[in-house]
A and B are shown apart, each in its own frame.
Chain A
Amino acid sequence: MSTQEFSAAFEALTAPAARMALAPLLALGVGVLVFLLCDVVAALRAARAPVFVGALILAAAAEVRILLGERAPGLVFDGTFAADRATALWGLMFVGATLLAWLASLGYYRENRPFKPEHDALMLTTPIGMMLMIGARDLVVFFVGLELLSIPLYALCAFRRMRQESVEAGVKYFLLGSFSSALFLYGAALLYAAAGTLSLVELAERDLSAPLALAGLALVAASLFFKVAVFPFQLWAPDVYQGSPTPVTALMATGTKAAAFGFLLVQLTPILPATGRATVAVLALVTMLLGNLGALVQTDLKRMLAYSSVAHAGTLLLLVAAGMGAPDEHGALGAALYYLGGYLFTAMGAFGLLGLLEADGARFTRLESLRGLARSRPVVSALLALFMLSLGGIPATAGFLGKWFVFAVLVDADMTTVAVLAALLSTIALGYYLRVIVVLYMQPPPEELEPPRTNRWSASLVGALCGAFVLAMGLFPALFLGLLGS
């Protein structure tokens, strides 16, 4: 490549479209660097929080510009990265999840917790990974994004190093996560051997029915199944979700899941063979069954929510089954966005409030410690009850409409039996969600346990914001459906 050719290539990379597509990533990346710098210079310490929030706001603004702009950048960087209205919507979701998780983490850790700034810097790195994953049109870009999301999360899971369960969560997530990364790489290598390209755009045009390509696709799908914790890769979820600090759990349950499902649905589903539909549908139903049955017997609320998140992953996997082998014709993408958006606010709110109740050291996440909480903390209890109803899919909440759209997609894709089975399975879930409400409202407060007195504006704000969004998405869906319009 001559100098001239090289400068031509470089110019193409810095074209206005590429700059526009890169803007959200750049805002966050520069934000991380400035944040770390502020931590080193004593005079700039006070600027840390504004830098954190500012980077997220700039990233959100850049995504909104792509969303509302007349011409989305489309494929940039020689077709390895894409930015359009859909990725902008996902990107906004990632920014929202990070901001809410960060708010929930303020004051969650003990005063003067060492490495709190590093905690925040790592948290700010994760949405970059998620955006790379969702915009990736090349398996290399996706893999770097996946690692950029996963590696900070491994450390964040083990952030409370003095707590054994936190370290265990980190180690478990790290070991199994590296294993799934290896699966992905092997799958990508097989795909390259079979098709001679790593570009997802080109892969979609190739015939991938050769056994070698199928094995590659299966390995890549398996590594993503691990990230979203669906059967048979769901075993790590309860331990990791329970052991990690609650704000980190919230970020994992919402952000990681959204990013992995985003890639799975946008990129991978169309190139998966339609013959595998039944297998994926069965996997999804088994995941729902295991998640719901597991959640029924839990006495720890965080663990219960972990199993519930497994069940929700199963529901989303049904959308993958419905869309396999064809470009999105049943509206599976829109349904997934609505479902994940609703789940983001619901789970984030529930975990945020749990974090609020959880004084450092004491464990207020057990069901029995929540007995009669409605008398001492009426607002917190009401919001928790709202989130439980939304998770269970009760009408007038975001969860109901999300489920409704998923089942509509299934019926549209001639999978009525699956839809009926899934609906039956989700009624099991009501059993444990309603139990939380019973405990909150209909049982006497325990005498020996002091009700938690923690009161933090940030976590309360998370709860209130999420509550408002859950209700708004349930009552005025038109507001949000307009965004999904195209």
Chain B
Amino acid sequence: MAETLFYVLGALCVVFAIGVVRARMPLFSVLNLLGTFFCLAGIYLLAGFPFLAATQLLVYAGAIMVLFLFVIMLLNLGDAAELEKHAGLSLSGRRLFVACSSAALLGLVGLGAAEMSTAFDARTLPAEHALDDLEHLAALLFSRYMLPFEAASLLLLATMVAVIVLAKRQREQARDTSAASAPAESQRKENGVLR
């Protein structure tokens, strides 16, 4: 039963993945991607990693997918012909590139499958490494991997600062547009009250 389900989910996953690259509208690509994420989460669940499946749904199908949609809506990428204008490579060039990278990826996956017998078996891992248990996962995060866990918080802070630097409307622009009408406002901004 589980095995049949695995093959069904796997096949669906591949179908959706092909849909991502075949779709003419970016929005359909994103919807196909969503399908891939759901199938992957199902496979994780089958393999006995419920937490991983939940995270996959929350982070990828939830948060990242919304970001994708935002970007696509904001950029107004409705038409494939519009995209064509910005493409650096010719169509055949892109096809060649995609074919080559897909072949390389397939090769790696095939290698992985062929090596499965020599590779280690996740089921034989010592219990404290197992990911199927939230308690073990939490214990790992707060013992062995505490340093990267804490460093990740700094990373998030740095990322936020970076995003603000890149995305916030800069003050000189704000001054240009508001100086004429509201000098007091721009003065206040300059004093940095808003930052």
Given A194-B115, A195-B120, also A6-B143 (CB < 8 A)? yes
A118 contacts B151, C-beta separation under 8 Å: no
The docked-state distance in angstroms from the alpha carbon of A114 to that of B165 is 9
Tell me the dominant secondary structure on chain B's binding face. helix
| Whole-angstrom distance between the Cβ of A33 and the nearest chain B Cβ | 8
- The CA-CA distance from A145 to B152 in the complex, in Å, is 9
Is there a chain A Cβ closer than 8 Å to B88's Cβ? no
Per-residue interface assignment for chain A, residues 35 to 50, with 1 indicating a CB less than 8 Å from any chain B CB and 0 otherwise = 0100110100000000
In the bound complex, residues from chain A placing their C-beta under 8 Å from that of B172 are: 114
In contact, A80 and B148 (Cβ under 8 angstroms) = yes
Which of B7-15, B40-48, B69-77, B155-163 forms contacts with chain A? B155-163
> Does B154 sit within 8 A of A, measured CB to CB?
yes
- The B-contacting residues of A in range 396-451, CB under 8 angstroms, are none
| Residue in chain B with minimal CB distance to A152 | B158
Q: Roughly how many angstroms separate A78 CA and B158 CA in the complex, as a whole number?
A: 26
Taking the complex as formed, is B145 at the interface, i.e. its CB lies under 8 A from any CB of chain A? yes
| Proximity bits, B141-183, A CB within 8 Å = 1, else 0 | 0111111100110110111011111101011100000000000
Say whether B170 contacts A154, CB under 8 Å: no
Say which one of A119-127, A244-252, A286-294, A340-348 lies at the interface with B: A119-127
Nearest Cβ on chain A to B26's Cβ, whole angstroms: 17
Q: Is the CB of A1 within 8 A of B158?
A: no
* A190 contact from B112, B151, B171, B191, Cβ within 8 A: B112
Chain B residues, Cβ within 8 Å of A212: 111-112, 115, 118-119
Most chain A CB within 10 A, of B143, B157, B192, is at B143
Residue-wise interface mask of A (72-104) relative to B, using a CB-CB cutoff of 8 A (1 in contact, 0 not)? 000001101100000000000000000000000
A469, CB-defined interface residue at 8 Å:
no
Q: Report yes or no: B143 in contact with A128, Cβ–Cβ below 8 A.
A: no
Rounded to whole angstroms, the CA-CA distance of A206 and B112 in the bound complex is: 18
Does A327 make an interface contact (CB < 8 A)? no
Q: Tell yes or no: A9 within 8 A of B by CB.
A: yes
- The answer to whether B66 has its CB under 8 Å from any CB of chain A is no
B139 contacts partner chain A, Cβ-Cβ < 8 Å: yes
A158 CA / B118 CA spacing, docked (Å): 46
- CB pair B142–A77 under 8 Å, yes or no, is no
A215 CA to B109 CA, complexed, in Å: 11
> Which residue of chain B lies nearest to A212 when distances are taken between CB atoms in the complex?
B115
Given A151-B155, A212-B115, CB of A161 within 8 Å of CB of B166? yes
Give which listed residue, B112, B147, B170, contacts A193 with CB less than 8 A: B112
B125 at the interface (CB under 8 A from A): yes
B185 shortest CB reach to chain A, Å: 16
CA distance A193 to B154 in the complex (A): 29
A154 and B162 in contact, given A114-B170, A210-B118 (Cβ under 8 angstroms)? yes
Given contacts A193-B120, A210-B115, is CB(A122)–CB(B155) below 8 Å? no
Question: Which residues on B sit within 8 Å (CB–CB) of A118?
Answer: 161, 164-165
> Known: A210-B115, A212-B111. Is A145-B146 also a contact (CB below 8 A)?
no
* B84 partner residues in chain A, CB cutoff 8 A: none
Question: B111-124, CB under 8 A of A: which get 1 and which 0?
Answer: 11011001110000
Let me know if A78 and B143 touch, CB within 8 A: yes
B158 contact set on A, CB distance < 8 A: 32, 121-122, 125, 148, 151-152
B147 near A77 with CB under 8 A, answer: yes
User: CB distance A141 to B148 under 8 Å?
Assistant: yes
A457 within 8 A of B: no
A147 CB to nearest chain B CB (Å) = 6
Q: Residue B108 at the A interface, CB < 8 A?
A: yes
Q: Tell me, yes or no, whether A359 is within 8 Å of chain B by CB.
A: no
Q: Are B115 and A211 in contact (CB under 8 A)?
A: yes
Q: Are A77 and B165 in contact (CB under 8 A)?
A: no
- What are some 16 contacts across the A-B interface (CB < 8 A)? A1-B143, A25-B151, A32-B158, A78-B143, A115-B170, A118-B164, A118-B165, A122-B165, A144-B148, A152-B158, A152-B161, A161-B166, A193-B120, A210-B115, A212-B111, A212-B119
